[in-house]
Amino acid sequence: MPLSARLLSALTLSTFAIACDGDLALKNGRPSVTWVETTPIDSNTSALTLWVKDAEGEAVDVAIRWEAGSQSGDLVLAPGSAPLTALPTELGLTLEEGQIHRIQWDLTDVPAGALTLVLTVDDRPYEGDDGDTYRVTDLDPRADSGPLPALRP
C-alpha cells in the first residue's frame, strides 16, 4: 500500500476513534421474507420461489410450515433441492424485494388446493434464538401462484 494511502487510512481510523469515545451499540436488523411464488413441476413437486432480505446481507435460515384447514406439516424438500439454510442475501441488499431463492417442494403429503405458508426467517448466530414469522395465504402449490406478499401476522 502506498505511503499516502496508509497515512489516509491511519488518519481516518484515528479520527473515527476520537469521534466515537462513547459506547457504540449496533443493532442487527431482522431478516425478512418479502414474496413467495409457486410453479408446479409435476403432480407431486412444486418450485417454490422466495425473496429473502437482510439489512446486513448476512446468510439466513428459513423454516417453512404449511397449513390447510385442520392439517399442517413441515415443508419437505424434494430430492435434489437447494437447502433452506445459510441462504445468501448480499445480492438483494439494493433490491426492495431482496434476493431470490428457489427450492423444490415435495407435495406428497400436502392436500390439494389453497393453503397458508408460515415462514420463520432467522440470521442466527447473529441475532437471538427466535426468528420472525411471515404468512402467505391462498397459495396453491399445484398451480402457478404469486408472487404473493409474505406478511407478518
Is the whole model's pTM more than 0.95, yes or no? no
Q: Write out the residue range of the structural domain in which residue 120 sits.
A: 32-149
Model pLDDT for residues 29-62, shown as the tens digit of each residue:
789 999 999 999 999 999 999 999 998 999 999 9
Q: How far is CA 28 from CA 51, 63, 87, 120, 124, in A?
A: 19, 20, 17, 17, 11
Q: How far is CA 153 from CA 28, 55, 104, 133, 135, in A?
A: 21, 21, 26, 8, 7
pLDDT tier at 7, thresholds 50, 70, 90:
very low
pLDDT recorded at residue 14:
46
Number of domains in the chain: 1
Residue whose entry in the numeric block shows the C-alpha cell 496508509? 6
Residue 24 domain-assigned?
A: no
DSSP 87: B
pLDDT recorded at residue 30:
83
Residue whose entry in the numeric block shows the C-alpha cell 426467517? 121
Write the CATH number for 88. Answer: 2.60.40
